[in-house]
Structure 1
Amino acid sequence: MDAQWDDLKIFLAVARRESLSGAGRVLKIDPATVGRRIARLEAAYGAPLFAKSPTGYALTDAGQRLMGHAVRVEQAIEDAAEEMMGKTGGLSGQIRIGAPDGSANFLLPQVLEKISDDNPDLDIQLVALPRVFNLTRREADMVVAVSPPNAGRLTVQKVADYKLHLAASRKYLEKYPPINTLADLSGHRIVGYIPDMIFDKELDYLSETGVERVNLASNSVSVQINWVRQGSGIGIVHDFAIPWTQGIEKILTDEISLTRSFYLVRHADDRRLERLNRFAAALVEGMRHEVARLEALT
């Protein structure tokens, strides 16, 4: 028996929210009804689609296989609606992007605002998390990453290089001993990542400075930048974030200048979806322009 689209919508909601109650809130239906519809879908396919785990509902192998098909159906329906309603000039529906919190806080808001201005019928969701996103589980439609993944059915596009430097607030530099060489850092308070929570090797900035101790550590770039901004210590800061923070200046630029890259990662099956292709093109163009604009201000 072919699954009806309504059942597939419920399946997608449970897969993305990992719970019946979470899916019910999104769909505005009772969790018990969600459970019954999932049971009906599993009976139709003759296989369990979810396994109950301590963290919620996890996709089984059969569920993983259905996920890709369900997403393509979802995107095809949205594409058809745009075309039939005469909205081919602009995007509509909902698109979710996952990104590390540094780019999510200081780079993507203005890029996505421009895309929203150009596509008033489009709902954009930006999920900022200091971890790797799982596109196989469809946690997002696409992800901005700081290193290209080496596993999974994914497509990867390099977006742009970006710069990072040691930085401190003018208040801090006036209060503490001068910093003329990397060796001088040993007498200063250092801000950085919690070492065992660095989720990507490209974020291990301080290893290139020779610093062994991080006095103030957080898994959030935004927290780190706030510590630097308020004069709590010295840290590695994205150049594109500096124009958004008052009183921060780069230091030791001749000794430490880091280059990293952003990549746009998508599920391989989405290459055929014109709607997501158009959004991805606008996102890449906007990010390249904004990185260049902000870095030119530092």
Structure 2
Amino acid sequence: MKNINWDDLQLFIAVARGGGLSAASKAHGSSPATIGRRMLALEQAVGRPLFIRRQTGYELTADGQSLLIKARTMEDGARTIDDWLDMGGRRPLVRISSGTWTTNFLADNFARLWTPDDPFRIAFKATEAKLDIAHREVEIGIRNAPPESPNLAGRRTVTVAQAPFRTRGHSHPGREEGWVAIAPEDMVTRSARWLAEHAEGDVVAWANSPRTLHDLVRVGVGKGLLPCFAGDRDPLLERAGEEIEELRGAQWLVMHNDDRHRAEVRTVIDRIVELVSAHAPLFQGERPVGGA
């Protein structure tokens, strides 16, 4: 990225996360006025407005949201170096890369993956993008396809079903319910692309991330496509239709051929497999909280 340095992107992430200059100032130690000037310079460098400036704070524009996704990916990459530097003399780190909903499920069941007595630590890398396992960006990747590189090993776990969900008790009798979808410029997953092909003009709102899509569905904006193990675990949601059969697919653990033999990585792999296998009916869409 021409004329853009990493320090400015880190400040940009802090402003976006904190919703304004004051929060970013507390996080980085620079004055709000200095950060404000650097954000103006960043906007000039990219040639696009990144913020809507209000008295209540800074709100991201559509271009700002797109840059935030890319900057967070860079941030995740930078953290791998920090993790490596931090490991000297400490317990080794097992980094797990997975999408938003799989990470959410693992976090809810963290006690099944790690105990204070374990001689290692776990770091989650929640991203819809595929981090580079072959080049050791993470130790374990949870994906919807087996590995293609000869340097990688794969282990199939459970089948994942997907279905439309709406906020509970908020149906619209007599009219077709619109969709909440991932915006075209942010589509990474197969389910997001499928919905773009089939929803046509029925999208009532766009989101730039699965979490925002979930929030919009929860407040009744429209129905959204979610993995059943995410939607069926949320008591505020209900099925808005049948499972999308063509989106049903296997989940895979992907590891580097060498790293998978490390004791701590092997332990985490076995615990993930045991955890998701115990919840196989949930992943397969067989345990809905409420029917359509």
Same fold (TM over 0.5): yes
SS in structure 2 opposite 1:132? coil
Structure 2: distance between partners of 1:96 and 1:224 = 26
Query: What's the counterpart of residue 211 of structure 1?
Result: 199
Aligned-residue Cα RMSD (Å) equals: 3.5
Are 2:210 and 1:226 equivalent residues in the alignment?
Answer: no
**Percent same amino acid among aligned pairs?**
18
Q: Which residue of 1 aligns with 2:142?
A: 144
Q: Indicate yes or no: 2:155 matched with 1:157.
A: yes
Name the counterpart of 1:192.
181
Return the alpha-carbon distance in structure 1 between the equivalents of residues 173 and 153 of structure 2: 48
TM-superposed deviation, 1:288: 2.1
Secondary structure of the residue that 2:258 maps to in structure 1?
A: helix
Question: Counterpart in 2 of 1:47?
Answer: none
* Alpha carbons of structure 1 residues 198 and 246: separation in structure 2 relative to 1, 3 Å: same
Distance change (3 Å), C-alpha of 1:151 and 1:203? farther
| TM-score between both structures, scaled by the size of structure 1 | 0.59
- The alignment status of 1:238 with 2:227, answered yes or no, reads yes
Q: Which amino acid aligns with 1:100?
A: G
Which structure's residues are more often helix, by fraction? Answer: 1
Distance 1:226 1:144 in 2: 24
Paired amino acid for 1:245: D
Deviation at 1:296, TM superposition (A): 4.6
Q: Could you tell me which of 240, 244, 247 is aligned with 2:236?
A: 247
Q: Is the 8 A contact 1:112 1:283 kept in 2?
A: no
Change (3 A) 1:272 1:123: closer
Change (3 A) 1:249 1:212: same
2:249 is matched with which residue: 260, 266, 274? Answer: 260
Normalization by structure 2: what TM-score? 0.60
Q: 1:219 to 1:136 in 2, by over 3 A?
A: farther
> Hey, what's the Cα distance between the residues in 2 that align with 1:249 and 1:223?
18
- Residue pairs, 1:89-168, within 5 angstroms: 93-105=92-104, 107-117=105-115, 119-151=117-149, 153-168=151-166
1:261 and 1:113 mapped to 2: Cα distance?
A: 24
Q: Is the 8 A contact 1:167 1:248 kept in 2?
A: yes
- Rate the CA distance shift 1:154–1:178 in 2: closer, same or farther, 3 A: farther
What does 1:19-98 correspond to in 2, within 5 Å?
Answer: 93-98=92-97
Task: Give the gaps of 5 or more residues in structure 1.
Answer: 1-17, 23-54, 59-66, 82-91, 180-186
Letter in 1 for 2:181: G
- C-alpha deviation, 1:178, in angstroms: 4.2
Q: Which structure would you say has the larger Rg? A: 1
Q: Specify the alignment match of 2:173 in structure 1.
A: 177
**1:264 CA displacement:** 0.6
Task: Identify the range of structure 1 (121-130 vs 243-252) with the bigger mean alpha-carbon deviation.
Answer: 243-252
Give the partner amino acid of 2:157: V
Number of equivalent positions: 209
Q: Distance in 2 between matches of 1:272 and 1:161?
A: 25
Give a deviation string over 1:171-227, Cα, whole Å, max 9, x none. Answer: 431xx2347xxxxxxx4321122223322435534157x211433222422221111
Partner letter of residue 177 of structure 1? Answer: P
Contact 1:202 1:260 in 2 (8 A): no
